[in-house]
Amino acid sequence: MTAQITLSIRLNMVKRTSIFRLIAVLLFLYAAAGTPATAQSHTDLPRVLVIATGGTIAGEQGEPGTLGGYEIRKPVNEIVAQVPELRRYAQVETEQFSNIPSALMTPDQWLLLARRINTVFEKRSDLAGVVVTHGTDRLEETAYFLHLTVRSDRPVVLVGAQRPPTGISPDGPINLLAGVRVAAAHDSRGKGAVVVMDDRIISARDAQKFFARSGGFSAQEMGIIGVVARHGVEYFYAPTRRHSTMSEFDVRELTSLPRVDIQYSYAGADGAGKTDAKAIIVATTGLSGTERAYYESLQRRGVVIATTFPSGDHVASPNTARDSFPIIAVKRMLPTHARILMMLALTKTQDVREIQRIFDQY
């Protein structure tokens, strides 16, 4: 009886040892196979080019824990290196376009940036998309210009930071990560340029900075078109106005843009200010032409006039049929965005009816 018990124990020990050895062998084989598989999976990830222009996201050497005192000079390779999680979603390449506060961004630089992105897309069929890091003061303007002038269905994503890297809880790294995920996502194709801030995807046509803190970007009544969620990039809507591949604007040969100014209509305004502008966007809460003397004063200078609400939230009826008093009606567009569209429209035509057609379609 004792011998039988001893034999049973020994058999159980042999079985357990065999099982443990089998598990060890399987774990070894899994680990050995897992290393090259992980490396290979990274090479299979989409390629995304990050082009840096400067802004708060490139700030450094500010007073620790504060939101001020920093200098905009951090190079793009360091910005990307501070977000190692990017390797989970894309093969990231970098390029330094400029390193300036966005308040110094000019229309001439818009032309250079659009030309560069168009060239990259023409030469690099392997790129899934482009991310542009940018200061938030002019981010929405640059985004809309690229929305109209980059002739590719691949995404152009603009990201920035409201809190500098030297401050507590900076938002630049998470915005960059979200932007790269959007640029790498196949569903981002055909959406034109977008602004990605705080995990929200906003069409460049409707993007607006409301305040200088986290959550400061919105699209007002137009709404966001998607989100960057834990499980992936998800879209709910798509822009319906013309952009990117549907755009008629080709800036490849342009070296400058026509000057367009913005004026506010206010109590006592007479339109008497001097300007060399080819057109003026009038930000007004009327949009009715009842301020006749004001508009006639502007038109005597031979400029094209367009009107929009300061907030961009309005749909007006055009009155370009009145030859003696034509005014372009801008529909649901910020004055800054209307200025950009007018600049591009004037590179095509001076006819007010044709300009109205452009504003109706874009």
Query: Where do the H-state alpha helices sit in the chain?
Result: 2-43, 76-81, 107-123, 139-149, 172-184, 292-299, 335-346, 352-361
Which pLDDT band, with edges at 50, 70 and 90, does 37 fall under? very low
CATH architecture of the domain formed by 45-246: 3-Layer(aba) Sandwich (3.40)
Rounded Cα–Cα distance for residues 77 and 91 (Å): 13
Q: Measured in whole angstroms, how far is the alpha carbon of residue 342 from the centre of its chain? A: 21
Of 230 and 301, the one with more pLDDT = 230
From the list 2, 17, 38, 56, the catalytic residue is 56
What CATH number should be reported for the domain whose range is 260-361?
3.40.50.40
The token pair that represents 170 in the structure block: 């900076």
Could you state, in order of their start, the residue ranges of all structural domains in the chain? 45-246, 260-361
Q: What is the pLDDT of residue 292?
A: 72
In the block, tokens 């913005």 appear at 262
Please give the full DSSP string across 229-244, using - where no structure is assigned: ETTEEEES----S--G
Of 6-10, 78-82, 290-294, where does mean pLDDT reach its minimum? 6-10
Give SS3 for 98.
Answer: strand
- pTM assigned to the model: 0.85
Cα angle: 139, vertex 240, 358; to 5 degrees: 80
Confirm whether 45-246 and 260-361 share one CATH topology: yes
Q: What is the pLDDT of residue 35?
A: 39
- Return all residues near 360 (Cβ < 8 A) that are at least 6 apart: 318, 331
Mean pLDDT (the chain) is: 86
Q: Measured in whole angstroms, how far is the alpha carbon of residue 120 from the centre of its chain? A: 17
Active site residue 56: yes
| Rounded percentage of the chain residues whose pLDDT exceeds 90 | 63
Contact 109, 143 (CB under 8 A): no
Cα angle: 182, vertex 187, 190; to 5 degrees: 95
The token pair that represents 269 in the structure block: 């305004």
Contact 154, 128 (CB under 8 A): yes
Q: Is the pLDDT of residue 63 over 90?
A: no
Q: What is the pLDDT of residue 40?
A: 41
Q: Measured in whole angstroms, how far is the alpha carbon of residue 232 from the centre of its chain? A: 18
Query: Where do the H-state alpha helices sit in 68-204?
Result: 76-81, 107-123, 139-149, 172-184
Write out pLDDT tens, residues 131-142: 999 999 999 999
Contact 141, 337 (CB under 8 A): yes
100-106-110-112 Cα dihedral, nearest 10 degrees: -80
Which pLDDT band, with edges at 50, 70 and 90, does 36 fall under? very low
Q: What is the pLDDT of residue 14?
A: 43
User: What value does the mean pLDDT take over residues 76-81?
Assistant: 98
Which pLDDT band, with edges at 50, 70 and 90, does 310 fall under? confident
Beta-ladder partners of 333: none
Q: What is the pLDDT of residue 30?
A: 42
Q: What is the pLDDT of residue 28?
A: 45
Q: What is the pLDDT of residue 29?
A: 43
Rounded Cα–Cα distance for residues 314 and 285 (Å): 9
